[in-house]
């Protein structure tokens, strides 16, 4: 297109850009005008000969189109009427006159004009054109008859047309064509070809409309049959009721549900509720939505194991043998289950205990619950509570909601098919709560022996007896379990496995399992005890045995690949061969720095993954009394460090610590592995010891570890996770521990294997600990010895 030039020719017409619209000649069409440029074009047309040049936009989203944004062929139209609307828009009624092509554009303010060149149609007289027109008119009548969107008045307007050109334009105006197709029809000057395109289009549209009518008819017929059957069924029911001849043979579903209810061993109240629902079902149409809701409810009621009990295996020797076959160690939970079976052998019925197994991942909590079910001869169901945050997950949804169903407790009891299964609630410490409710609160009734004999699900709305279920819950951290739940459970702590226990588990369970899973023969791979211990020491660092099992699986895969052409060849793997199979060891055998070091002390920590040691480091630098803490310490650990500094400033004089030591020095405390978050109060005594070592220049023995929360008076408060901390110390090769005096009871509860070989000192305040760690800190060795013997007790 040419570049717009100033107005020089009076034959130019104002251009009106159209969006998503094509106006054909001889058609009268209302236009809604609102853009400043189009308003200006209309005003100039009214002021002149009332003619406009209508050109369609290529892109309807263009607000201010240029000549390049318009199609070159349009229609010259006459303005018949204008009407200003209250919202500022103008309604313009135009009539198309004839086709024209824009040959040049000129600017006129914020709009532009165009010089039109009229287009003449060809093929208006031949007989074939007339014949094609008659076919088009006949097909268009069929199209209007099938199309509900076009009124019958369209056919009346068509009857008054005899000119082929006007007939073609009239039909094109009412055809459902896209804008590009309509523009192509507007630009077509061969009238015979125009009618051929129209006829092809009409044939396609008529076929589509016939298919739509057929589909609608089928749907309408199906609905009519259903409505008719329902109407006749209701009439028949009313007639039989009036005659007193209403028989149950007309209610096959009702009879089936009554038989189901009678076959179950429901309590009387539940049976009455079920029969009440059956009576409701009898009085309503079987095709109604309410009937479907009642049927679903009755299906759930009848599917539950009312009164179904499995017989417990009361042979204690056999049960103990099964527990020992499946798991190594774990004496406390095994003893508790055997005690429960012993009581069951004496009394006919006992409320199921609610046990909570707390321990790090991989120590066998979940598999132990499955083993307990096998030992007792009961069915086993597992419900994972990790991430559950909706109370309805436990109690279910009320029947008023579409798609409602019972909660996961009732669903699991249906799967168990008995009233006394072993029910595992896994990861009870990882539930959450939000605006939908607190699932932990819903579990209070489930895990309360005084209430769970009448557990009420929101969907069932009848009492269900859970008192004979043996509930076992698992958790990684005890303090993450809500206190009301802890109060209802018997908590059994499960510490991480020791080195010799991992060896026994690997030898008796993991190696045979992985050998079998990888298709290796019994003698095809040989792992000595030294090799398994090497894998445990330098290729794993965990409380459980999951990583150990994965490493054994890696070895099996390597052996299977090496023996692919030599099936059955024996492969002996020595500790020195492990790098070939497992790569470079990721861990050192001993994590503690050897040798006594000034400003460094070993602490003990624990989290959901088990126990670990902390190499706490402290140093003094010239400065202005700033305390710098690094190593991603949490708020509680930072406060413990501040408490340690305050204690040394106020009570450090007997240990040669000047009260103003911070006046000219900065203190930097760092805990390595800075990418790992650390928090908790139990590192307080270790922080104070490392800081005292840095200030006084006296080294702390590297083979000593300590744990305890420190107060501003120097007292050492009790800590948690003692078993996991002892496991971590043994794993690091440390056998001398300093533990708060308040944890003496916890120490006595630990397994003998865990306590064996450990030199533990129970201390009440930090000065007792320092008497051991810094024996030359006092003026005389005799005074140190006397104080050490009188102020602390040691257990071997």
Query: Hey, which residues are catalytic here?
Result: 682, 725
- Residue 209 phi, psi dihedral angles, 5° rounding: -65, -35
DSSP string computed for 14-62: EEEEESS--PPTT-EEEEEE-SHHHHHHHHHHHHTTSEEEEEEBS-TT-
Q: How far apart are CA 569 and CA 664, in angstroms?
A: 71
Alpha helices in 569-714 (DSSP H): 578-582, 635-651, 684-696
Q: Which of 124, 110, 75 is nearest to 95 (CA)?
A: 75
Q: Cβ distance 499 to 541 under 8 Å?
A: no
Q: Cβ distance 254 to 282 under 8 Å?
A: yes
- Residue 579 phi, psi dihedral angles, 5° rounding: -60, -30
Q: Cβ distance 353 to 490 under 8 Å?
A: yes
β-strands 597-598, 600-607: how paired?
A: unpaired
DSSP string computed for 513-571: HHHHHTT--TTTEEE-HHHHHHHHHHS---SSSHHHHHHHHHHHHHHHHHTSSSTT--E
Q: Cβ distance 511 to 523 under 8 Å?
A: no
- Secondary structure of residue 699 in the 3-state scheme: strand
- Secondary structure of residue 96 in the 3-state scheme: strand
Encode burial over 227-237: b for 16+ CB neighbours within 10 A, e otherwise: eeeeeeeeeee
Q: Cβ distance 698 to 655 under 8 Å?
A: no
Structure tokens at 434: 């939000």
- Residue 25 phi, psi dihedral angles, 5° rounding: -60, 150
Q: Cβ distance 473 to 357 under 8 Å?
A: yes
In sequence order, the 6+-apart residues with CB closer than 8 A to the CB of 501 are 328, 329, 753
Q: How far is CA 557 from the centre of its chain?
A: 33
Q: How far apart are CA 462 and CA 444, in angstroms?
A: 18
End-to-end CA distance of the chain: 102
- Residue 5 phi, psi dihedral angles, 5° rounding: -120, 160
Q: How far is CA 496 from CA 97, 229, 396, 625, in A?
A: 94, 69, 37, 42
How many CA within 13 A on the CB side of residue 374? 13
Q: How far apart are CA 748 and CA 756, in angstroms?
A: 12
- Token pair 């850009």: residue: 17
Q: How far is CA 160 from CA 142, 153, 155, 192, in A?
A: 17, 11, 9, 21
- The interaxial angle of helices 331-344 and 365-376, nearest 10 deg, is 20
Q: How far apart are CA 506 and CA 512, in angstroms?
A: 8
Q: Which of 674, 631, 669, 633 is nearest to 648 (CA)?
A: 669
How many CA within 13 A on the CB side of residue 418? 17
DSSP E strand stretches across 469-524 = 470-475, 490-493
State the maximum Cα–Cα separation within the chain, in Å, rounded to a whole number.
Answer: 135
């Amino acid at each position: 297109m040419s570049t717009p030039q100033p107005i020089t020719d009076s034959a130019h017409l104002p251009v009106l850009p159209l969006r998503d619209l094509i106006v054909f000649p001889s058609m009268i069409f209302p236009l809604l005008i609102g853009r400043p440029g189009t308003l200006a074009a209309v005003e100039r047309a009214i002021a002149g000969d009332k003619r406009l040049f209508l050109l369609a936009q290529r892109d309807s989203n263009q607000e201010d189109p240029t000549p390049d944004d318009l199609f070159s062929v349009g229609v010259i139209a006459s303005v018949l009427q204008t009407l200003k609307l209250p919202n500022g828009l103008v309604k313009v009624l135009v009539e198309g006159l004839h086709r024209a092509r824009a040959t040049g554009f000129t600017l006129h303010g914020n709009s532009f004009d165009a010089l039109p060149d009229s287009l003449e149609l060809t093929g208006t007289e031949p007989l074939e054109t007339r014949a094609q027109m008659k076919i088009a008119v006949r097909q268009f009548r069929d199209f209007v008859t099938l199309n509900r969107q076009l009124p019958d008045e369209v056919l009346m307007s068509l009857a008054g047309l005899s000119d082929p050109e006007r007939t073609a334009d009239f039909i094109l105006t009412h055809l459902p064509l896209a804008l590009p197709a309509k523009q192509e029809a507007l630009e077509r000057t061969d009238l015979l070809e125009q009618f051929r395109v129209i006829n092809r289009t009409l044939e396609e549209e008529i076929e589509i409309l016939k298919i739509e009518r057929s589909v609608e008819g089928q749907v309408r017929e199906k609905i009519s049959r259903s409505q008719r059957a329902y109407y006749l069924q209701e009439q028949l029911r009313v007639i039989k009721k009036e005659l007193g001849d209403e028989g149950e043979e007309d209610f096959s579903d009702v009879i089936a549900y009554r038989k189901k209810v009678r076959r179950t061993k429901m309590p009387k109240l539940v049976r009455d509720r079920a029969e009440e629902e059956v009576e409701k079902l009898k009085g309503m149409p079987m095709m109604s939505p309410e009937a479907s809701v009642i049927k679903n409810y009755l299906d759930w009621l009848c599917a539950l194991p009312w009164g179904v009990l499995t017989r417990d295996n009361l042979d204690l020797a056999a049960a103990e043998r099964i527990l020992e076959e499946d798991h190594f160690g774990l004496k406390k939970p095994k003893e508790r289950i055997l005690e429960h079976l012993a009581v069951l052998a004496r009394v006919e019925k006992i409320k199921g205990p609610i046990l909570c197994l707390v321990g790090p991942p991989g120590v066998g909590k979940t598999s132990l619950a499955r083993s307990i079910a096998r030992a007792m001869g009961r069915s086993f169901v597992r419900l994972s509570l990790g991430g559950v945050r909706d109370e309805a997950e436990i109690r279910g949804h009320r029947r008023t909601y579409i798609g409602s169903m019972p909660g996961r407790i009732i669903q699991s009891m249906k799967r168990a098919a008995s009233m006394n299964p072993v029910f595992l609630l896994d990861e009870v410490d990882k539930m959450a709560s939000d605006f939908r409710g607190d699932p932990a609160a819903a579990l209070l009734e489930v895990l309360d022996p005084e209430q769970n004999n009448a557990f009420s699900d929101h969907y069932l709305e009848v009492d269900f007896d859970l008192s004979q279920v043996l509930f076992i819950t698992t958790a990684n951290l005890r303090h993450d379990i809500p206190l009301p739940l802890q109060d209802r459970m018997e908590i059994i702590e499960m510490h991480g496995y020791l080195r010799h226990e991992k060896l026994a588990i690997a030898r008796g369970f993991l190696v045979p399992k992985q050998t079998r899973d990888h298709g290796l023969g019994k003698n095809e791979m040989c792992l000595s005890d030294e090799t398994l211990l090497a894998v445990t020491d330098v290729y794993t660092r965990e409380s459980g045995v999951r990583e150990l099992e994965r490493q054994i699986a890696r070895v099996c895969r390597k052996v299977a690949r090496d023996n692919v052409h030599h099936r059955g060849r024996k492969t002996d793997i020595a500790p020195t061969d492990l790098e070939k199979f497992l790569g470079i060891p990721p861990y050192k055998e001993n994590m503690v720095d050897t040798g006594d070091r000034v400003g460094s002390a070993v602490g003990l920590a624990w989290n959901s993954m088990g126990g670990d040691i902390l190499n706490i480091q402290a140093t003094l630098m010239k400065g202005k009394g700033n305390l710098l803490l690094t190593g991603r310490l949490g708020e509680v650990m930072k406060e413990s460090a501040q408490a340690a500094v305050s204690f040394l400033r106020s009570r450090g004089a007997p240990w040669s610590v000047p009260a103003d030591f911070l006046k000219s020095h900065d203190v930097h405390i760092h805990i390595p592995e800075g990418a790992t978050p650390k928090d908790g109060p139990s590192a307080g005594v270790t922080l104070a010891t490392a800081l005292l070592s840095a200030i006084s220049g006296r080294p702390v023995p590297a083979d000593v570890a300590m744990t305890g929360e420190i107060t501003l008076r120097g007292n050492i408060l009790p800590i948690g996770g003692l078993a996991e901390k002892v496991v971590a110390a043994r794993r690091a090769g440390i056998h001398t521990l300093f533990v708060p005096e308040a944890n003496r009871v916890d120490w006595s509860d630990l397994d003998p294997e865990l306590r064996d070989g450990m030199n533990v000192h129970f201390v009440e305040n930090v000065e007792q600990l320092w008497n051991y760690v810094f024996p030359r800190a006092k003026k005389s060795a005799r005074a140190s010895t006397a104080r050490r013997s009188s102020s602390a007790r040691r257990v071997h």
